[in-house]
Amino acid sequence: MPSPSRGAPALTWEVQDGIAIVVLDCKDQPVNTISRAVKDEFRACFETLANDASVQAMAFFSGKPENFIAGADIEEFVKLTSAAEAERLSADGQDMLDQVARFPKPVAAGIQGACLGGGFEFALACRYRVASDHPKTQIGLPEIQLGILPGAGGCQRLPRLVGARAALDMILAGKAERAEKAFRLGMVDELVPPPILRSITIAAARRMAGGWRPKRRRPGGFIGWLLDGNPLGRMLVFRAARKQLEDKTGGHYPAPFAALEAVEYGLRHGMLEGFKREAQLFGQLAVTDVSRKLVQIFFATNALKKDRGVDGAPAPVAVQRLGIVGSGFMGSGIAGTAVAQATVDVRMKDSELVRVAGGLRAARDILDDRLKRRRITKYEHARLVALLSGGASYAGFWRAELTIEAVFEEIAVKQQVLREFEAATPDGAVFASNTSTIPITSIAAAARVPERVIGMHFFSPVAKMPLLEVIPGERTAPGVVSTAVAFGRRMGKTVIVVKDSPGFWVNRILAPYANEIGHLLAEGASIETIDGMAVRFGFPVGPVTLLDEVGLDVAEKVAHVMLAAYGDRLQPTAGVAALVKAGRLGRKSGRGFYQYSGGKKRGVDSSAYELLGVHPNGGPRPAEVLQRLVLGLLNEAARAVGEGVVRSPRDGDIGAIFGFGFPPFRGGPLRHADDLGAARLVADLERLAERLGPRFAPCEVLQDLARRNAKFYP
């Protein structure tokens, strides 16, 4: 007979035939987190069950069907004010999990949904782990992404379970793995379908109570033993990992280095010393500015997930069928991503069948890639491929709740497509234009029902780039905005809603950054210096590489739109046109500012200087190069915020981080402007303007902030 459920609000349990079945369910919260209060409940629960003679083993579950435990409560640790306080929090977490690990009766965890950070550290302290292969199950230690390290014993227990190499791979990248991979890596002991998770976990607890001990092979075979199992091999592993980190982080992110140290220290000096070091390092990291910024990004991204994009918007229409007009690189990228992420039926149209076939093939490549990476099963792959279809007419489009056009970037062509679409479909369906420059209101001028026309600006390549700008035109209906936002999110994108103005947000603030290249080259700076300084600042690639990636023809087109709209302030880099004229379009044509072969960037193509008529002979000091690149961008971002191009500084920062990799540890251009201070920015810009011309004149928004000693963020 089960005993009645008892216990405090989040943790409840009942005892069935000697097995305590414990369930964690943080009521009124979307996910389970380990807060101080929950920790107290854990302690009390484990203490009670340790003393309960009727209990022989424990089986632990989450009460939330799609979430196991999302980790320590992030809200709690952002309130920490000193390293010592943060260290205590970590030590306290370790202590609680020590109680779990030393629990006199075996504990089996049944994992379904996100099992992350402190949640996985709890699971690691259990004696046995069963995971369900539910699509929402993901297991890992993402702390690095928040600028901290796994501080509840994860840096000690994971390497002992899966070996140093696999553990470092996971911890240093802040990765979470799907259940199947977690099982292959040895992070969990058993992988089961959801319906039998409970019974299998309870059975494992019962077997362990009967004296059975799970056997684990050291993962990685002989090589694994050679590298993980002895001090010399481990030294090599750590040395290689450190080198890789130096290359990857540019020294901007202290957390991965600290995590590496915590793991290494623990393996060298034993678990107990490892715990101590881990807690010390956690304490130091938790109060760094980098961690604060990364946590702000986490919360900003979460808040955006709930934002419908316009105040008081009606609920979005649930898109089940998507129409795509244009089967080129963008159209096929949108199609493949929509099928892979949102599982919608996609109907693609182009003028000729042969083009449609090419587009469908490219869309399918995205699905093939997911299969190859084992993100989907063969069965899922076959099911998703079957969702892709196409033709040379609008047949089938009348059933699509949303159609996205991705045809040539020319207003007449886009308007023509819009007219054809309206003739072929009912009035209720949404028409979205994937334009990077053309105002939506101008496109919608050709519409019979402009209320249903909207912009959805995807970035290239669609499958990889995380940002989507949604642009309502003057007459776009609020329900159309919420539908586009919701669908973009289903496609896995971070969505910001931006004002219908030239360049929208991302291309607008990139314009002065990209244009400055031409001025710097003309003054004798080298391409390596320009890109190198931007990378040192924390951008993933420099502006010259960025232009090559985007395509110089595309960049040239955008630049002209910006010039026409904003005048001399955004005068484009003359050199780009010269390169385009010579057929050098960047990566896609194998040559741009750099050379490319075999899909790799090979170094600066020095003939680019000749085509531009410039000579790299030193140029401005590297620090000035960086200042000019960054301040131009910040100035334009501030100006655009003043014009209401983004709805809030939060959206602006998230857009810049996800749109072109503005360094996350700086929190985005507007947070960075706040850190520098408006008064200092204005003074620096004035000095640059005096020397280099009015393009650097500080905008009114910055001047106003400086006068009021105010910031973008309160």
Residues labelled as active-site residues: 469
Binding of residue 261 to ligand 3H9 (CB under 6 A):
no
Give the DSSP letter string of 57-95. EEEEEESBTTEEE--B-HHHHTT--SHHHHHHHHHHHHH
Amino acid making up residue 611: L
Of 302, 343, 351, 607, the one binding ligand 3H9 (CB under 6 A) is 302
Binding of residue 75 to ligand 3H9 (CB under 6 A):
yes
CB of 283 to ligand 3H9, least distance (A): 10
The stretch near ligand 3H9 (CB under 6 A) out of 143-151, 242-250, 427-435, 604-612 is 143-151
Of 72, 258, 462, 562, the one binding ligand 3H9 (CB under 6 A) is 72
CB of 74 to ligand 3H9, least distance (A): 4
The stretch near ligand 3H9 (CB under 6 A) out of 113-121, 309-317, 473-481, 549-557 is 113-121
Of 73, 87, 500, 549, the one binding ligand 3H9 (CB under 6 A) is 73
Q: Strands 494-497, 594-597: parallel, antiparallel or unpaired by DSSP?
A: unpaired
Nearer to ligand 3H9, 146 or 338 (CB): 146
Binding of residue 116 to ligand 3H9 (CB under 6 A):
yes
Binding of residue 172 to ligand 3H9 (CB under 6 A):
no
The stretch near ligand 3H9 (CB under 6 A) out of 85-93, 227-235, 548-556, 610-618 is 85-93
Strands in 494-497's sheet, in edge-to-edge order, are: 388-391, 345-349, 321-325, 402-405, 430-433, 453-458, 467-472, 494-497
d(CA 433, CA 43): 56
Nearer to ligand 3H9, 89 or 313 (CB): 89
d(CA 284, CA 84): 8
CA 588 remoteness from chain centre: 25
Q: Are 76 and 40 in contact (CB under 8 A)?
A: no
Binding of residue 97 to ligand 3H9 (CB under 6 A):
no
Binding of residue 177 to ligand 3H9 (CB under 6 A):
no
d(CA 659, CA 677): 24
| Cα angle for residues 372, 375, 379 (degrees, 5° grid) | 80
Of 20, 89, 172, 484, the one binding ligand 3H9 (CB under 6 A) is 89
The stretch near ligand 3H9 (CB under 6 A) out of 116-124, 162-170, 487-495, 559-567 is 116-124
Nearer to ligand 3H9, 122 or 537 (CB): 122
Binding of residue 84 to ligand 3H9 (CB under 6 A):
no
Of all residues in the chain, what percent are helix, strand and coil, respectively (each to 5)? 55, 15, 30
Binding of residue 74 to ligand 3H9 (CB under 6 A):
yes
| Cα angle for residues 430, 434, 439 (degrees, 5° grid) | 90
Binding of residue 305 to ligand 3H9 (CB under 6 A):
yes
Please choose, from the candidates 137, 74, 76, 128, the residue with its C-alpha nearest in 3D space to the C-alpha of residue 103. 128
Nearer to ligand 3H9, 257 or 421 (CB): 257
CB of 71 to ligand 3H9, least distance (A): 3
Nearer to ligand 3H9, 118 or 698 (CB): 118
Of 143, 190, 500, 651, the one binding ligand 3H9 (CB under 6 A) is 143
CB half-sphere exposure, 337, CA atoms < 13 A: 26
Host H or E run for residue 41 = helix 36-51
Binding of residue 70 to ligand 3H9 (CB under 6 A):
yes
Please choose, from the candidates 510, 565, 520, 532, the residue with its C-alpha nearest in 3D space to the C-alpha of residue 692. 520
CB of 491 to ligand 3H9, least distance (A): 14
Binding of residue 125 to ligand 3H9 (CB under 6 A):
no
DSSP state of 19: E
3-class secondary-structure state, position 22: strand
d(CA 145, CA 244): 17
How many residues contact ligand 3H9, by CB under 6 A? Answer: 26
CA 714 remoteness from chain centre: 25
Q: Please, is 563 exposed, middle or buried when counting C-beta atoms within 10 Å of its C-beta (0-12, 13-18, 19+)?
A: middle
CB of 284 to ligand 3H9, least distance (A): 13
Q: Residue 380 — φ and ψ, nearest 5°?
A: -60, -40
Nearer to ligand 3H9, 72 or 406 (CB): 72
128 contacts: CB under 8 Å, gap ≥ 6: 106, 107, 108, 109, 189, 190, 201, 204, 205, 208, 214
Nearer to ligand 3H9, 38 or 429 (CB): 38
Of 93, 147, 266, 450, the one binding ligand 3H9 (CB under 6 A) is 93
CB of 111 to ligand 3H9, least distance (A): 13
Binding of residue 667 to ligand 3H9 (CB under 6 A):
no
- Expressed in angstroms, the distance from the first to the final Cα of the chain is 58
d(CA 146, CA 409): 39
DSSP state of 487: H
CB of 328 to ligand 3H9, least distance (A): 32
DSSP state of 266: H
Q: Are 489 and 305 in contact (CB under 8 A)?
A: yes
Q: Residue 139 — φ and ψ, nearest 5°?
A: -130, 130
Q: Is the dihedral of CA 225, 230, 236, 239 positive or negative?
A: positive
Minimal CB distance residue for ligand 3H9: 117
Binding of residue 627 to ligand 3H9 (CB under 6 A):
no
Binding of residue 121 to ligand 3H9 (CB under 6 A):
yes
Nearer to ligand 3H9, 72 or 498 (CB): 72
Of 60, 64, 68, 90, the one binding ligand 3H9 (CB under 6 A) is 90
Binding of residue 146 to ligand 3H9 (CB under 6 A):
yes
CB of 96 to ligand 3H9, least distance (A): 9
Of 152, 443, 453, 468, the one binding ligand 3H9 (CB under 6 A) is 152
d(CA 448, CA 113): 46
Nearer to ligand 3H9, 93 or 224 (CB): 93
Binding of residue 170 to ligand 3H9 (CB under 6 A):
no
Binding of residue 114 to ligand 3H9 (CB under 6 A):
yes
d(CA 292, CA 148): 10
CB of 291 to ligand 3H9, least distance (A): 10
Binding of residue 300 to ligand 3H9 (CB under 6 A):
no
Which of positions 22-51 make contact with ligand 3H9 (CB under 6 A)? 30-31, 33
Of 106, 118, 309, 649, the one binding ligand 3H9 (CB under 6 A) is 118
Nearer to ligand 3H9, 92 or 704 (CB): 92
The stretch near ligand 3H9 (CB under 6 A) out of 71-79, 371-379, 468-476, 692-700 is 71-79
CB of 292 to ligand 3H9, least distance (A): 14
550 contacts: CB under 8 Å, gap ≥ 6: 460, 586
CB of 495 to ligand 3H9, least distance (A): 14
Q: Are 636 and 512 in contact (CB under 8 A)?
A: yes
Q: Are 458 and 330 in contact (CB under 8 A)?
A: yes
Binding of residue 670 to ligand 3H9 (CB under 6 A):
no
Q: Are 97 and 152 in contact (CB under 8 A)?
A: yes
Binding of residue 691 to ligand 3H9 (CB under 6 A):
no
Can you give the binding site for ligand 3H9, defined by CB under 6 A? 30-31, 33, 70-75, 89-90, 93, 114, 116-118, 121, 142-143, 146, 150-152, 154, 302, 305
